[in-house]
Each structure stands twice: as structure tokens, then as C-alpha cells.
Amino acid sequence: MNHALENGAQEVSVSIANSQSSSVEVREEKIDKLEQAIQNNLSIRLFVDKKYSSHSTSRLNKEDLSRFIEEAIEGTKYLSEDEFRTLPDPELYYKGNGQDLGSLDKNFGNVDPEEKIQLAFAAEKEILGSNERIISVSSSYYDGLNSRVMVNSNGFEGDTANSYFGLHTNVSVKGDGDARPEFGWSETAIKYNDLTKTGTGTTALKRALDKIGAEKIESGTMPMIVENRMVGRIFSPLINALNGSAIQQKNSFLIDKLGEKVASEKLTLTDDPFIIGGRGSRLFDGEGIATKKRTVFEKGVLKTYYIDTYYGKKLEMEPNSGSTTNLVFETGNKDLDALIASVKRGIFVTGFNGGNSNGSTGDFSYGIEGFLVENGEIVKPVTEMNITGNMKTLWANIGEIGNDVRDDSSWRTPSILFNDVDFSGL
């Protein structure tokens, strides 16, 4: 940072990231892949004569860094001026002494490599040879640790670290005709001792077998239940529409909607960065701005956008961090089984296959797979169907929000029942 300031930069932000990871994949009782990586990287953002650039390098010896920074500054001088590019107001920075958010397993390096391999083998052996329809099974163990330190020339200093551990099993089975249904199931945790170490194989096999005989059904408008682990696919367009970049570039269907009811009153959503052990928990964002707990939607009313320093200046809005932390839904009182039981005829969606959503209008079209529900019971698997509509209409038509929140993601999504969704099939 000091070297950049001494060589012509007026403001500088520097971060150094270190990461280490390992993974082992087994197939047919043999190790198919074994990987281990350690990486170091420096990123520097330069503000030179009202011009801006960002650079990164993995060459971290002093001589190479000095030359790298000097050349980066000289190159920045040839860029166009951008008056909106500055570091954040120092008053917004995280000032230190925050609580431990439980994002790091301090015993990360103590897991025996042989134990990692045996966990992968054990996951495969849960189902290998257990069913004549099985075509192939592969299982993997993976883990990683990421740490970062950042300094800004106008007063910020901070560091952060997180770890993760996971097991995954994927299985394919013989279906009807040439069909080869497959399914993968994962278990993840921040700390090794919290990782669920059994069940990925049996769950993956059951879910794959359940897909046998999937087919289209007739088109229609009916309720749709989206499984908690799949809600993110239709939730992300709603969150993306709140980003400062989308607002400024007129690529959001929620422009100028602050304080307005834009979704069902059943949608209350909080962004909470301080959940102990939360996957998105953090004390400061990528710019050094201190995180705050805030309401995103309150009974369907939009309460906030996600605004970073750059787009805050362009939009003349107060920066409040341009990214999400832990998104927490206010839940209902029904679990997934109860949601299914409440539907006379509808579709339980367990997967999305392609499709897209238009950021500026909210119009969407997605391929889906799942199960037909009749009289509160799952009847048969369905596939090769599409849902179409508009995001504002979809989220205004929430029937019920489940209580089966997934806690292995920063988006802590429950299963959700939507009314009157258009399905196209036969």
C-alpha cells in the first residue's frame, strides 16, 4: 500500500488471500482423483488522478511486487477519469473488536488424510451393489480454508477466515427405456466435527430411484411447491434486482420500489451477518464497510437495496454494502410434508433444468423436474416441463412458507408453496 502511494496513487486498497484445499473422489472402490492445492494471491485497487483500476498477482516476493505495482500505476494513468471511484467513507468502516462468528475450524489441519479417503470410500459403500438398477456410484470428500487480510489507505485494516468440509455422492440408475436418472447429495459443515458423515449415498440412491418413470403431464395452472434446496434458483432474480449495479443500469424490475409492497405479505426477509456459524456471517464486506443486520422485505414491502460505494455515488444513495450475508426467512408452521399434504393438485419441484429470468422485466422461463401431487400425496415423477411467468407475480402469490430451513447455505431458504403457476407440458 505504501509503495503504491509513494509511486503516484492517491488511494489504495490491498488484500492478500491465502487458501488451501483438498479433495478425494472414489469410484468402483478405487481412488479416481486426489487433489491438494495451496494458493496465495494479492489484489490491489488503485485510484490514480481520478482514474481507477484493479489488479491481482500470485507473485508475492518484494521485487516482483514493486515492479508489478509501478507498472499498474502507470497503466492506470491512461484510463478515462471516473469521478465516482473512491474508497468508502472511513466512518463506514468496521472498527475492530467484533465477536467470533464461528466461521473457522481452528483444527482444520489436523484431519488425517487417510481419514478423508476412508470417508469417501464409506459413502460409496453405503449403496454400492445394493440395487440391481445402479449403473455407477462416485463419492468424494472435500475441504478448504480461506483467509484474507485487507488494508485501505484511508484507515481500514481487517482480516477474516473461514473453513468448510463436505461429502458428496452421485449415483445413476437404469430407468425406463434409455433413461438414466441420476442424483447427487451433499452434506457440508464449517467444522469437521459437525459434518454429517453418513447418508449421502443412501439419500442419493433413493432420490435417483424416485425419478424412474418421469414424464410430462398436461399443461395447466396449479400450485407449485419448491424444495428448500432449490428455492435459490427462483430467489436469486429477486435479490439480483436489489443490487446497486442493476438499479443504476436500469436492469432491475424493482427500480424505485423502496417502501412499496412488491411481494406477498408472507415474505419477510432479514439480512443478518451476525449468526454464529452462519455460512454468510461476516463483520465487514469486500470494501471494509461494517456489516449491519437489516430488514430486506417486511410483509412484502421492500425496505432496502444493496449499495456499494461506487453505485452509491452514482445513485446518490448511502452505501450499505453491495452484497448479502445470511438471508433469513420468516417461516410458517408447516414442514415440507405438510405443505405437500395441503395441495389438492400441483407440482412439487425438486430441480431446475435450464431457463432464465429477464432482469429488467422479471419475466422468466425455467425447465423443471419433480413430482405430481394429488390430494396431498406424491403420485408420480414429472420432467421436461416448463414454468413461465413474472417474478413480481410469482412472489406476490406465495401460498405458504415452510419451516424446513436449510442451514448449510448463506441463503437460509425454506420450502415455499406458490399459487397459480403456469406449467407447460403435453
DSSP 186-217: EEEESSGGGS--S-HHHHHHHHHHHTTT-B--
Mean pLDDT of 274-288: 97
CA distance 377 to 299: 30
CA distance 234 to 397: 13
Query: How many CA atoms are closer than 13 Å to the CA of 33, on its beta-carbon side?
Result: 10
Q: Hey, what's the cell of 206?
A: 433413493
**Phi, psi angle pair for 102, to nearest 5°:** 70, 35
pLDDT, residue 87, reads 98
Mean pLDDT of 253-282: 97
> Which residue in this structure is represented by grid cell 406476490?
396
Q: What is the pLDDT of residues 127-182, one digit of tens each?
A: 999 999 999 999 999 999 999 999 999 999 999 999 999 999 999 999 998 899 99
pLDDT, residue 29, reads 94
Is 426 a residue whose pLDDT tops 80? no
CA distance 234 to 414: 13
Rounded percentage of the chain residues whose pLDDT exceeds 90: 98
Domain boundaries, given as residue ranges, for the chain: 1-211, 214-425
Q: What is the pLDDT of residues 9-26, one digit of tens each?
A: 999 999 999 999 999 999
Mean pLDDT of 192-218: 96
Is 259 a residue whose pLDDT tops 80? yes
Residue 298 contacts by C-beta under 8 Å, 6 or more apart in sequence? 268
pLDDT band at 425 (very low <50, low <70, confident <90, very high): confident
Give the domain 1-211 fold. PmbA/TldD fold (3.30.2290)
Mean pLDDT of 300-329: 97
Over the range 28-45, which residues count as b (16 or more CB within 10 Å of their CB) and which as e? eeeeeeeeeeeeeebbbb
Mean pLDDT of 75-101: 96
CA distance 161 to 159: 7
User: For the chain, what is the mean pLDDT?
Assistant: 96
CA distance 86 to 73: 16
SS3 420: strand
Is 193 a residue whose pLDDT tops 90? yes
